[in-house]
Structure 1
Amino acid sequence: MSIAPRVVVVHRATELDELLARHGTRGQVEFFLRSRGRDLAEVEARHSSLQQALSTITAAVPVDWRQGRVERADLDRFLFGPEDVVVVVGQDGLVANVAKYLDDQPVIGIDTDPARNPGVLVRHRPEAVGDLLRSAGPQDLLTMVEAASDDGQRLRALNEVFVGPASHQTARYTLEAEGRREAQASSGLVVATGTGATGWCRSLWLEHHSRLALPGPTDPGLAWFVREAWPSPATGTTYTEGLLEAAGLALRVESERMVVFGDGIETDRLELTWGQSLTVTRSEHHLHLVA
C-alpha cells in the first residue's frame, strides 16, 4: 500500500509575530513602530496576507493527502520525507533556505506579496496551489552546490557556499582549482550557482570588475570569488576568481578555525580547524522547482 503524499507548507514568522514576541502587546508594538516613523497597519496587512495564503493553501490540499507545516527557524530540525510536496510561502530567499534540506522533492513557490518580491523562485499565487498539487507540471532543475570536509561533514546550498573565518576578518588557507594552486589570506571565498549569481555572487563579480560569464540557474557550472585577498611574502592574490565545471575547488585550512555555511544561514554550518581539507563541487541533487 503506497503512502499518500504529504504537503509540507514552509513559511516564516511574520514581522508582526516577531514584534509581538518582543514587545508583548499590540499597543506596545504600535508605539515602537510609530517612534520609528512606521505604521502598524502596514505590518498587520502583510501578516493578514500571509495568514490568508496559508488558509487558502490548506483548503486546497486533497482530502486524502497528509499535511505538515514548519517555520523557517525550525527547518534544521524538520525531517522531510521522499513523498513530500513542499509548498514555500513567502520570499525567494525562503526557497533557498529550504532547498538545502531536500532530496529532490518538488517545490512550489508561493508569492504573497508580488509588489515587494521579485518572484524568481516564488512563482505562483496561493489560488494556484490546488491545480499545481494535482498536476505537478513541469519542473526546473536548479543546480546546487555542495561542500564536503575530510571528516565527513557535508552541506548543500542553492545560492552559494561561504568558506572563511566566522569573524569575517582574515583566514589563511591554500586554494586549489582547475589545476592552479595558491596560498592565500583573505576574509573568505564564495562559491555560487547560477541561481546565486544574481545575489552575493554578483556583488563580488562587480567588485572584481570580472569578465567571467556567470552561469544560469540550470547551468551545471559554478562561479567562485575570493573576498579581500591580502598580498604578503607568503600569500598571493593572483588567483581570486574562476568557473568550475566538472572539477571542484579544494581548500586546506592554515588558520585556527574556519566555517562553512550556505545561503546565509550561519547557525547551520560546518567548522574546520588547522590542517583540515574541504572540497566544493556541484551537488548531485537539484532543487526541483515547479515552473
Structure 2
Amino acid sequence: MSLPPRAVIVHRATELTELIGRHGTRQQAGFFLAGRGRDLAELDARHQAQQDALATVSAAIPLDWRRTVAERNDLDRFVFGPEDVVIAVGQDGLVANVAKYLDGQPVIGINPEPARNPGVLVPHEPAAFTGLLTARTITERTMVAATTDDGQQLVALNEVYVGHQTHQSARYRLATPDADAERQSSSGILVGTGTGATGWCRSAWQERRSPLALPTPSDPILCWFVREAWPSPATGTTSTEGLLKAPDTLTVTAESDLVVFGDGMESDTLTVTWGQRLEVGVAPVKLHLVV
C-alpha cells in the first residue's frame, strides 16, 4: 500500500522573529530599531503576511495527506521523500535554497508579499494554492552540479562558486572543453544556470560587457565566469568565460585549498584540498517547479 502524499511546507524565519531572537524581547527589538530611525510596524506587517500565507496553505492541504514543516536553516538535515510535495512560502531565494536537496519532487512557490517579491520562483498567491494541488503544470529548470574526485557532490539552482574560503586569491588549474588547461589566480569561478543568469552570473556578464548569450532557465546549458583573473608569469587570463553544454564539464584542479558552495549557502560547502580535482557541469536532476 502506497503512502499518501506528504506536504512539506518550507519557510524561513521572518525578520521580526530573527530580531526578537537576537535581542531577547519584543521591547528590546523595538528599542534597537528606534535607535536606527525605524519601528516594528513594517516588520509586524511582513511577519503577519507570512503567517497568513502559511495558515492559508496549511488549511488547504487535504486531510488525508501527511504534512510537516521545515525551516530554511534546517534543510541540510531534513530528509525529503519521493512522495513529497514541497510548498515554499517566502521569497524567490527560498526555492533555490530547497531545490538542491530534491530529486524530482514538485515545488509550489507561494508568494506572501506580491507587492515586494518579484515572484519568479514563487509566482502564486496563497489563495491559488488549492487549485495547484489538483491541476499541476510542471516546468523543468536546469541545475548545476559540482563533483569532487572522491565522490562528493553539491547541486544548485542558480550557481556554484569555487574559490578561496575568504574570497582571497584562489589558485588552481582550469581545463575547459575548448582549450588546454590554464593555471590561474583569481577571486573564484562562478558557474550558473539560466535561472542564475538573472543574478550573480548576470552581474559578472554585465560588468565585463560579455558577448555571451546567457542561457534560459530550461536550457541544458551553463554559463561560467572567472572573477578577477590575475595575469602573472605563472598564471594566465585566457580562459575566463564561456558556455557549457551537457555532458561537457569544467575541470578545476586545486593548487590551494578551495571551497565550493551553491546559491549563496556558505554553511553547506564542499572542501577541495591541494591537488584534488573538481568537475562542474549540468546536473542530472532538474527543479520541477509548479506553474
Instruction: Give TM-score scaled by structure 2 length.
Output: 0.98
Q: What is the aligned partner in structure 2 of residue 209 from structure 1?
A: 209
**Equivalent-residue separation in structure 2 for 1:221 and 1:7 (angstroms):** 31
Deviation at 1:37, TM superposition (A): 1.2
1:119 alignment partner, SS class: coil
Residue correspondence of structure 1 range 28-107 to structure 2 within 5 A: 28-107=28-107
For 1:252, the aligned partner's letter is: T
Deviation at 1:115, TM superposition (A): 1.2
Q: What is the aligned partner in structure 2 of residue 175 from structure 1?
A: 174
- How big is each residue's C-alpha offset from its partner over 1:80-124, in whole Å with a ceiling of 9 and x where there is no partner? 000000000000001000000000100000001111111100010
**Equivalent-residue separation in structure 2 for 1:278 and 1:227 (angstroms):** 18
Q: What is the aligned partner in structure 2 of residue 237 from structure 1?
A: 237
Moved runs in structure 1, 4+ residues, more than 4 A? Answer: none
Matched, 1:253 2:264: no
**Equivalent-residue separation in structure 1 for 2:89 and 2:249 (angstroms):** 33
1:284 alignment partner, SS class: strand
After superposition, the CA RMSD in angstroms is 0.7
Q: What is the aligned partner in structure 1 of residue 141 from structure 2?
A: 142
Q: What is the aligned partner in structure 2 of residue 190 from structure 1?
A: 190
- How big is each residue's C-alpha offset from its partner over 1:248-278, in whole Å with a ceiling of 9 and x where there is no partner? 11110011x1000000000100001110000
- Long gaps (5+) in structure 1: none
1:101 alignment partner, SS class: coil
Deviation at 1:288, TM superposition (A): 0.2
- Long gaps (5+) in structure 2: none
Identity %: 64
Deviation at 1:179, TM superposition (A): 2.9
Instruction: Give TM-score scaled by structure 1 length.
Output: 0.98
**Equivalent-residue separation in structure 1 for 2:278 and 2:65 (angstroms):** 41
**Equivalent-residue separation in structure 1 for 2:35 and 2:133 (angstroms):** 44
**Equivalent-residue separation in structure 2 for 1:22 and 1:117 (angstroms):** 25
For 1:33, the aligned partner's letter is: L
- How big is each residue's C-alpha offset from its partner over 1:1-60, in whole Å with a ceiling of 9 and x where there is no partner? 110000000000011111111111111111111111112111011111111111111100
Query: Greater shift after overlay, 21-30 or 233-242?
Result: 21-30
Q: What is the aligned partner in structure 1 of residue 165 from structure 2?
A: 166
- How big is each residue's C-alpha offset from its partner over 1:135-168, in whole Å with a ceiling of 9 and x where there is no partner? 2x21110000000000111000000000000010
Query: Greater shift after overlay, 3-12 or 169-178?
Result: 169-178
Q: Paired residues, what number? A: 289
**Equivalent-residue separation in structure 1 for 2:270 and 2:26 (angstroms):** 39
**Equivalent-residue separation in structure 1 for 2:276 and 2:46 (angstroms):** 46
**Equivalent-residue separation in structure 1 for 2:283 and 2:100 (angstroms):** 10
Query: Greater shift after overlay, 6-15 or 25-34?
Result: 25-34
2:95 alignment partner, SS class: helix
1:44 alignment partner, SS class: helix
